[in-house]
Amino acid sequence: MEIVKVLHMNGGMGDTSYANNSLVQRKVITMTKPITEDAITQLYCSTLPKSLVIADLGCSSGPNTLFVVSELIKVVNQLRQKLRHQSPEYQVFLNDLPGNDFNTIFKSLPSFQKKMSSQSGAGAGPCFFAGVPGSFYGRLFPTKTLHFVHSSYSLQWLSKVPEKLEGNKGNIYMARTSPPSVLRAYHAQFQQDFSMFLKCRAEELVLSGRMVLTLLGRRSEDPSSKECCYIWELLAIVLNEMVSKGLIEEEKMDSFNIPQYTPSPSEVKSEVLKEGSFSIDCLEVSEVNWSIYNNNDGYNVAQCMRAVAEPLLVSHFGEAIIEEVFSRYREILSDRISKENTRFVNVIVSLIKKE
């Protein structure tokens, strides 16, 4: 599976699109707002740039893409009015892998810019947008050109499925039954990817530039803990049931693994310290319910997971099984949500580029 080609959220504006099934992600961005606002405030007040360059990495498509940008611009606009400064110009880079639905973003820009200019009032600087397709595990921008980097619910995705996962039969991710070698392989891939991400951004950010990163993670030091692996374990149950009914080939099931790693705060901290280009301003953990609607209906959770996982499943198993997979997944999710306290854990880190 070549991740760069197949990893993208469901595009468009339909029932199974990411645009219409990303309320959990929206809630997490809102919960992280105080940290993001504090970082952009410190950055603006310490540098007072004439042109402010913001990059949103792993921007996906839909309402969340421009939500973060609008909040950042609002904060800077209020600050410059308070300080009686001339408004900076804004350059916003929206990055994701090439398969991302950039067209939907670009179509929404005229109405977004109109709304922003009416909200910002007289004297607000112009805002220029550009899409940047490519992996953030490599260089994306020229040296020392970015002031602020934001990424939410993207960095848990790895650059590739780790190698040497042959012993992970019956699982599609790290699980309680995964051998230690599988857990080590996942962790090693995360270390390699996250340190490369930090190294690339260190070259692209100006001195004292800021990053706020939110990753799906875990509190526990056990990488196979239920708090981060359970939602994939339930999908594995569905796929195994379909293998037993002859709907999926066993070999296909055994060769499918999710390219994701959900780190603990200490693992994030360790990689930042090891890479050495950033100081940690804050490192926090938060939680959010699987179901934003606070009901026991697995439908919305299944739709959310489908918007994220469907392209990976289609590329490996083909399209024919998808409706059946998510119909069964919805049932099992409804059952577990009604009986258990099911939550996602988020790790948020705010970083400052060292001088």
Ranked by mean pLDDT, which of 22-26, 234-238, 312-316, 332-336 comes out on top?
234-238
Tens digit of each residue's pLDDT (9 = 90 or more) over 193-223 = 999 999 999 999 999 899 999 888 888 888 7
User: Residue 63 is encoded by which pair of tokens?
Assistant: 């309402």
The pLDDT of residue 279 is: 94
Calpha distance 129→106 (Å, rounded): 9
Least reliable range by pLDDT among 28-42, 256-270, 318-332:
318-332
The SS3 of residue 207 is: strand
What's the pLDDT score for residue 25? Answer: 65
Among the listed residues 312, 162, 172, the one whose alpha carbon sits nearest the alpha carbon of residue 239: 172
**Longest pairwise C-alpha distance within the chain:** 69
Q: What is the pLDDT of residue 202?
A: 96
What is the total count of domains within the chain?
1
- Higher pLDDT, residue 149 or 119: 149
Portion of the chain with pLDDT greater than 90, in percent: 26
pLDDT digits (tens, 9 = 90+) for 17-70: 444 444 566 677 777 888 989 999 999 988 888 999 999 998 776 666 788 888
Answer yes or no: are the C-beta atoms of 313 and 267 closer than 8 Å.
no
Between 216 and 281, name the one with better pLDDT: 281
Question: What is the domain-level CATH number for residue 194?
Answer: 3.40.50.150
What domain range includes position 150? 3-353
For residue 352 the two structure tokens come to: 């400052």
**Phi, psi angles (nearest 5°) of residue 211:** -135, 135
Instruction: Give the pLDDT confidence score for residue 280 in this predicted structure.
Output: 96
Per-residue model confidence (pLDDT) at position 62 = 65
The SS3 call for residue 147 is strand
Residue 3 and residue 259 in contact, taking contact as beta carbons nearer than 8 Å: yes
Vertex 348 angle, CA 344 and 350, to 5°: 170
Q: How far apart are CA 322 and CA 238, in angstroms?
A: 11
Map 53-81 to HEC letters: EEEEECCCCCHHHHHHHHHHHHHHHHHHH
- What's the DSSP call for residue 21? S
- In three-state secondary structure terms, 149 is strand
- pLDDT tens across 158-174, in order? 888 888 887 777 777 87
What's the pTM? 0.83
Evaluate whether 286 touches 28 at the Cβ level (below 8 Å): yes
What pLDDT is stored for residue 287 in this prediction?
A: 78
